[in-house]
Amino acid sequence: MKINPVTLIITLVFLYPVLRGFLFKFSSKDLKIEIDDAGRNISFIIAIISGIYFGKKIFIQHDQGIYKRIYYYIPQQILNYLENNNLIIYAIVIPITVFIIYRIIKLLLDILNCVTFYPALDSIEKFLISKGNLFKRIIGMIFQLPKAVCYILLLTFILNILSMFNINDKLNGYLEASRTYETICKSIVIPVTNSTIAKNLPNILNNSFRIVIREANSQKEIQSNASIPLKQFDNRKAVVYYNGVTLDEGVKSNAQINKLARELGSEGTETIDKADNLYNWIGSNISYDHAKANKVLNNDFNVSSGAIPAFETRKGICFDYASLYVAMARANNLKVRLITGEGFNGVSWVSHAWNQVYIPEKGKWINVDTTFYKGGNYFNNSRFNLDHRNAQIAGEW
């Protein structure tokens, strides 16, 4: 049985302080040093959580309450720069916020330790003088558990950030396969750092998007991977299948879809209004099909995929969402694309599909992701490229 390196590292990082506590027994002097170290770790973890949370609330979401007011008082020149350079928020603004919060929390913990924990430890050491070595070792091990928890949380935060910035594709694969890392991320890291968006994304996005390319005549499989550079097959006699169907089959429409799409489009005057109406309808009326996602994850393509099945069942996965958007956009004579690439679900990068629609009034294509609708605003959003990458045009109409 193959051991996942990420799971192994997390396990060893947790066990190290626990075993060390068992081997070196309980010592008031040593434990005070350990508590000071633990205080640094706790301060750092709280600072990371708070810094990322408040940084996103102020500089990315800023849609309500005090965050909106703070954002309002930031000079427009700075806001314009941050809008065009989203990564600066993560690379500079949030780290500065984290450092300031860290220093404040560490000072408070130092005061608390001097008043409470340090005197208590001296009393415990006096109590343990008459106890056996095994008992002292067990107590030493127990007192190291908080430090062990801090270590794995800190490591998980670091791995999560590395995954977000795509440091290494192989690492991303290990992270995706590690159940331990996934559990810690979903239970602790994601809920406290990404608010509503990340709480929803792990439930609406997994690696359930498959591209299979076969030879046109023999149907022999050439390649199977959602991150295939599709352009390399443009001039070959090959057929590309998305979750078991061709692109033409996936975006095929019917009279009911066209009728509703035109009704929605008629409610808008500008192209961007029509496109936004379609985005809102699909996002609020189509639910993520977890059963279908599990089948596709296990390479079972005995499922209906595309615009029509998604419209009729009101369920689907990312390719179905994107296909339905294409069908509805075409019914309104909007220029539209189906894009394949990867999306970040808060844990790792996974195969994904979304759309681009052309806005002639602005002379540009804008990004639209109806699958992510329940996780936040993904219609022409400035942070779109933070959790979408490796975009390829699968089709344009």
Is pLDDT of 281 > 80? yes
What does the pLDDT read at residue 68?
Answer: 77
- Does 261 or 388 have the greater pLDDT score? 261
- Does 335 or 184 have the greater pLDDT score? 335
Sign for the pseudo-dihedral over CA of 149, 151, 152, 156: positive
Distances (CA, A) of 204 to 53, 157, 198, 316, 380: 21, 22, 10, 10, 20
What does the pLDDT read at residue 300?
Answer: 65
Q: Are 219 and 328 in contact (CB under 8 A)?
A: no
Buried b (16+ CB within 10 A) or exposed e, 213-249: bbeeeeeeeeeeebebebeeeeeeebebbbbbbebee
Prediction pTM value: 0.61
Question: From start to end of 165-220, where are the E strands?
Answer: 211-215
Distances (CA, A) of 70 to 58, 75, 80, 304: 7, 11, 15, 48
Distances (CA, A) of 273 to 39, 61, 380: 52, 22, 12
Mean pLDDT of 369-385: 81
Is pLDDT of 190 > 70? no
Element spanning 99, H or E: helix 94-112
Q: Are 103 and 60 in contact (CB under 8 A)?
A: no
Question: Can you tell me the distance from the alpha carbon of 149 to that of 137, in angstroms, rounded to the nearest whole number?
Answer: 19
What does the pLDDT read at residue 333?
Answer: 93
Is pLDDT of 364 > 70? yes
Confidence at 275, pLDDT banded by 50, 70, 90: very high
Is pLDDT of 206 > 90? no
Question: Can you tell me the distance from the alpha carbon of 125 to that of 131, in angstroms, rounded to the nearest whole number?
Answer: 10
Lowest mean pLDDT among 44-48, 149-153, 220-224, 282-286: 220-224
Question: Can you tell me the distance from the alpha carbon of 4 to that of 159, in angstroms, rounded to the nearest whole number?
Answer: 14
Nearest alpha carbon to residue 337 among 213, 230, 224? 230
DSSP state of 380: S
Average model confidence (pLDDT) across the chain? 77
Q: Are 181 and 8 in contact (CB under 8 A)?
A: no
- Does 175 or 366 have the greater pLDDT score? 366
* Structural domains in the chain, sorted by start: 5-203 (no CATH), 211-396 (3.10.620)
Structure tokens at 148: 């062990």
Structure confidence by residue, pLDDT tens digits, 19-49: 887 877 666 666 677 677 777 877 887 887 7
Nearest alpha carbon to residue 215 among 191, 239, 199? 239
What does the pLDDT read at residue 189?
Answer: 67
Residue 30 identity (one-letter amino acid): D
What does the pLDDT read at residue 240?
Answer: 63
Question: Can you tell me the distance from the alpha carbon of 66 to that of 57, in angstroms, rounded to the nearest whole number?
Answer: 9
Count how many residues are written for the chain: 397
Is pLDDT of 205 > 50? no
